[in-house]
Amino acid sequence: MRAMVLDKPKHPLELRDVPKPKPGRGQLLVRVSTCAVCRTDLHVVDGELPEPKLPLILGHQIVGRVEEIGESNTNFAIGDRVGIPWLGWTDGGCSYCRSGRENLCDNARFTGYTVNGGYAEFTVADARFCFHLPDRYNDVEVAPLLCAGLIGYRSYRKTGDPRRLGIYGFGNAAHLIAQIAVYEGRELFAFTRPGDMATQQAATQLGTVWAGGSDETPPEKLDAAIIFASVGPLVLAALRALAKGGTVVCGGIHMSDIPSFPYADLWEERVITSVANLTRRDAEEFFEIAPRVPVRTRTKTFALEDANTALDQFRTGKLSATAVLTIPE
């Protein structure tokens, strides 16, 4: 089968013919139809995340059809549409797994990072961590929901029940989560790169009450803020925009250092927290609410062999939509 393979961080992916994987017990062999590109893929290619499996097939927002099932009963039948996310496997037995926090599992495996992912014609995945996807979306539309949507949703839920919510870094995850926040009646404040009027305008069209640069002070104090940009100093900007008791949620897997700051900025029960990975429960909740809103995705398709172009355009900020690799049968 054809796959885009990463041999070494900081090098382009290589289109290569590799053996088709065989599904083990409880695994699905999936013919990949689409795979959305995530910022985490960039962090892996750019060497910002430690110890990826090498050589590696990237990609953890995978949509495909079940082609073969490794012996054992699963929730899927041959031909079913299936979504494969970032969380690929957990041990089920560690203290995190046993306390409803499988996202923190000591031995978790991650799709397109520590196990092969979906920048390929086929992939295998543990059926217990795969999802049926809402019918209202086609394969291209639904792909960005599998990470930007799921991990964005976990970040959003970690903010509690804020009346005024700020979002710093208005990219793919923000675009999806903003729609849910507005649907749930929250006052949304969008923070973009200073001077990025196009993104501020796009945010306003989604129903934000205010949109401005990340260097600006919002007109009201916020009950919570989510940071989707991988820029450490934004944590302080967000913290200073919070009302008493407010929460800053860092939604990314990688971020530059956070500068030191006076304790007074944190005092009065403000909280800084982060989000790591997702649980299957997050996905169930998100795939229930997303089609009701309905959350709409913006996508730009690329052929599998053009994955490097997609990554480059993402890295240089040239994409205003989620890149989705499409792999015709």
Binding footprint of Zn ion on the chain (CB under 5 A):
38, 40, 90-91, 94, 97, 105, 147
Residue 28's alpha-carbon distances to 25, 82, 88, in angstroms, are 9, 9, 12
Q: Work out how close the CB of 95 gets to Zn ion at its nearest, in angstroms, rounded to a whole number.
A: 8
Between 6 and 38, CB nearer to Zn ion? 38
Residue 57, helix vs strand vs coil: coil
User: Quick one: which H or E segment has residue 68?
Assistant: strand 62-69
What are the tokens at 124?
């295998």
Smallest distance, Zn ion to C-beta of residue 61, A: 6
Tell me how far, at minimum, the Cβ of 217 lies from Zn ion, in Å: 31
84 phi and psi angles, rounded to 5 deg: -120, 120
N-term to C-term CA, the chain: 11
Segment (H or E) for 275: none
Pick from 184, 183, 201: nearest CA to 192: 201
Closest CB to Zn ion among residues 40, 299? 40
CA atoms within 13 A on the CB side of 19: 3
The structure tokens listed for 86 are 């970032």
Closer to Zn ion by Cβ: residue 247 or 279: 279
Whole-angstrom Cα distance, residue 31 to residue 301? 18
Q: How far is the CB of 151 from Zn ion (least distance, A)?
A: 6
Closest CB to Zn ion among 23 and 85? 85
Please, which residue, 36 or 127, has the CB nearer to Zn ion?
36
Angle between helices 148-157 and 172-183 (to 10 degrees): 50
Smallest gap from Cβ 273 to Zn ion, in A, equals 19
Min. distance of Cβ 187 from Zn ion in angstroms?
A: 28
Q: Which of 36, 103, 93 is nearest to 63 (CA)?
A: 36
The C-alpha atoms of residue 165 and residue 265 are separated, in whole angstroms, by 18
The distance of closest approach from Cβ of residue 240 to Zn ion in the complex, given in angstroms and rounded to an integer, is 28
148 or 304: whose CB is closer to Zn ion?
Answer: 148
Among residues 40 and 208, whose Cβ is nearest to Zn ion?
Answer: 40
